[in-house]
């Protein structure tokens, strides 16, 4: 009996993507370079947590070009999610893009369809611009959100799902209408569950000034949450009735777990027979 172990490891797909990016960089197509990176604002939150904010990440004209593409061509959906045992409509539109082969992403009982970067080529240009602005970063997944007015929002939460490292870097790019971005320090009893059912102001308790921070996310800006921000802090984009225009937000993350498929076959009597398929598991990859 001859036993053959077939391993399909999707990390090679990532290598192919990187090779393609090198080829693209040598073509005549110019990727917009980040603008005004010398004006970074850095906020030390303590205990290894940090916020970096770049108000002019790209030029206004380039930002509007990307905004128009995203607004018109992304297959936006407004899903029904589960919040504290109840089904509610998420108060913003969303879409998910990820490298092929990565672990399935889900939140609040909702599992979005996973599109690829090739489905929307301008997203690769934005990704390259983010990587250039943040040397050493390696993002492979993207959650897009569209706020169609001041009644659209995201409640207090942390991006601390299990498929992300607690100390990972998360980059957030904003296009369109300016919106407030709030931070507050977690208490020992703070629930880490996402709360989209009511505006944050109705759910949060008063905090000291040192435990709360706010930024105005401008058109074409980049905000980066670094270190242990997701472990120790929560953030939100609250309702703003005066915000009548549309805002589009792109949140880049790195998923550190790849799916490893292993199928065991045996060759017997001239026939290749599958003995069994091992369950899919998540394996940490460097």
What distances in angstroms separate CA 40 from CA 61, 133, 152, 165, 221, one per listed residue? 20, 11, 28, 25, 11
Alpha carbons 241 and 232: distance in angstroms, whole number: 29
67 is in an annotated binding site: no
- Does the annotation flag 213 for ligand binding? no
Q: How many helices (H) and strands (E) does the chain have?
A: 5, 18
Q: Is 235 annotated as a binding residue?
A: yes
Contact 193, 159 (CB under 8 A): no
Is 19 within any annotated ligand binding site? no
267 annotated ligand binder: no
Evaluate the CA torsion angle 138, 281, 94, 158 in order and state its sign.
negative
Residue 107, annotated as binding a ligand: yes
85 labeled binding residue: yes
Residue 105 labeled ligand binder: yes
Query: Is residue 145 annotated as involved in ligand binding?
Result: yes
Is residue 249 part of an annotated ligand binding site? no
Q: How far apart are CA 47 and CA 59, in angstroms?
A: 34
On whether 106 is known to bind a ligand per the annotation, the reply is: yes
**Binding residue ranges for substrate:** 84-86, 105-107, 160
**Binding residue ranges:** 84-86, 105-107, 145, 147, 157, 160, 235, 247, 251, 253
**Binding residue ranges for 2-oxoglutarate:** 145, 147, 157, 235, 247, 251, 253
């Amino acid at each position: 009996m001859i036993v053959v172990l077939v391993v399909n490891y999707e990390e090679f797909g990532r290598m192919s993507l990187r090779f393609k990016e090198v080829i693209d960089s040598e073509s005549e197509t110019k990727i917009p370079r980040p603008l005004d990176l010398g004006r970074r604002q850095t906020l030390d939150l303590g205990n290894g947590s940090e916020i970096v904010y770049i108000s002019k990440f790209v030029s206004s004209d380039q930002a509007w070009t990307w905004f128009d593409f995203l607004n018109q061509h992304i297959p936006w959906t407004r899903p029904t999610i589960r919040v504290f045992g109840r089904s509610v409509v998420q108060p913003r539109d969303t879409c998910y893009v990820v490298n092929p082969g990565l672990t399935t992403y889900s939140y609040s009982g909702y599992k979005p369809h996973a599109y690829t970067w090739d489905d929307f080529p301008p997203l690769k240009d934005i990704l390259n611009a983010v990587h250039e602005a943040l040397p050493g970063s390696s993002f492979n997944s993207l959650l897009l959100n569209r706020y169609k007015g001041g009644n659209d929002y995201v409640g207090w939460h942390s991006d601390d799902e299990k498929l992300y490292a607690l100390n990972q870097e998360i980059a957030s790019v904003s296009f369109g209408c300016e919106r407030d971005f709030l931070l507050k320090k977690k208490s020992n009893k703070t629930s880490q569950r996402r709360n989209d059912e009511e505006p944050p102001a109705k759910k949060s308790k008063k905090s000291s000034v040192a435990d709360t921070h706010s930024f105005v996310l401008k058109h074409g800006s980049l905000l980066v949450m670094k270190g242990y921000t997701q472990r120790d802090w929560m953030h939100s984009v609250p309702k703003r009735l005066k915000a009548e225009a549309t805002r589009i937000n792109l949140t880049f993350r790195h998923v550190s777990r790849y799916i490893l498929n292993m199928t065991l076959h045996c060759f017997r009597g001239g026939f290749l027979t599958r003995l069994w398929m091992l369950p899919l598991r998540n394996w940490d990859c460097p």
